[in-house]
């Protein structure tokens, strides 16, 4: 079997007047993620990891922030298109391991809903999607509440 590993990273500024979308769900908070799309940092990191593992470039190549048709798009649509592209190259996902870095709000209670949302879009079993959350102990742009970041590692294989 042809196994491949990919790693993705994304970061977005947090600001008032935006909604906070993480892992395909909206999280109530006074700030939201600034982005050309809905700014879902976790989905963007997962897309980059999947595309990288399959050697299909990156999310900005496939979904550029210069494309007006993508303005405000639901990142779940980008993930769905990424999965279709991956599967069109005969790849399937073994598992995803991801980490969201955010000082506030605490998102641990939302992780099961994120897993459910992502598994539905990706057509994967819940057990294939690991999501963890951490803070940066009040250090850096995440710690001061200026931004959010996410990391994702994926294992894919040729079918």
Residue 64 marked ligand-binding: yes
User: What are the pLDDT digits (tens) for 77-133?
Assistant: 999 999 999 999 999 999 999 999 999 999 999 999 999 999 999 999 999 999 999
User: What are the pLDDT digits (tens) for 42-56?
Assistant: 999 999 999 999 999
Residue 10 marked ligand-binding: yes
> Which residues are 27's β-sheet partners?
20
How crowded is the C-beta side of 147, counted as CA atoms within 13 Å?
A: 11
User: What are the pLDDT digits (tens) for 17-37?
Assistant: 999 999 999 999 999 999 999
CB 115 within 8 A of CB 131: yes
Task: Considering the domain delimited by 3-158, tell me its CATH architecture.
Answer: 2-Layer Sandwich (3.30)
Residue 136 marked ligand-binding: yes
pTM of this prediction? Answer: 0.97
Residue 35 marked ligand-binding: no
Residue 62 marked ligand-binding: no
Residue 36 marked ligand-binding: yes
Residue 137 marked ligand-binding: yes
Helices then strands, each counted (H, E), the chain: 5, 7
**DSSP letters for 15-65:** ETTS-EEETTEEE--S-EE-SSSS--HHHHHHHHHHHHHTT---HHHHS-T
Residue 135 marked ligand-binding: yes
Report strand pairing: 91-101 vs 147-158: antiparallel
**pLDDT given for residue 24 in this prediction:** 98
Q: Answer yes or no: is pLDDT of 1 > 70.
A: no
Residue 44 marked ligand-binding: yes
């Amino acid at each position: 079997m042809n196994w491949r590993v990919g790693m993705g990273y994304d970061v977005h500024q947090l600001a008032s007047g935006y909604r906070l979308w993480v892992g395909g769900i909206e999280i109530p908070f006074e700030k939201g993620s600034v982005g050309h799309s809905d700014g879902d940092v976790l989905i963007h990191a997962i897309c980059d990891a999947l595309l990288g593992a399959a050697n299909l470039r990156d999310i900005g190549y496939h979904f550029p922030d210069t494309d007006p048709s993508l303005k405000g798009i639901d990142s779940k649509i980008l993930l769905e298109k990424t999965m279709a592209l991956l599967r069109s190259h005969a790849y399937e996902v073994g598992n995803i391991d991801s980490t969201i870095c955010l000082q506030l709000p605490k998102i641990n209670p939302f992780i099961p809903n994120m897993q459910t949302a992502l598994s539905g879009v990706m057509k994967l079993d819940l057990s294939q999607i690991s999501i963890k959350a951490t803070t940066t102990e009040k250090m850096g742009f995440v710690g001061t509440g200026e931004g959010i970041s996410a990391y994702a590692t994926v294992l894919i294989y040729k079918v």
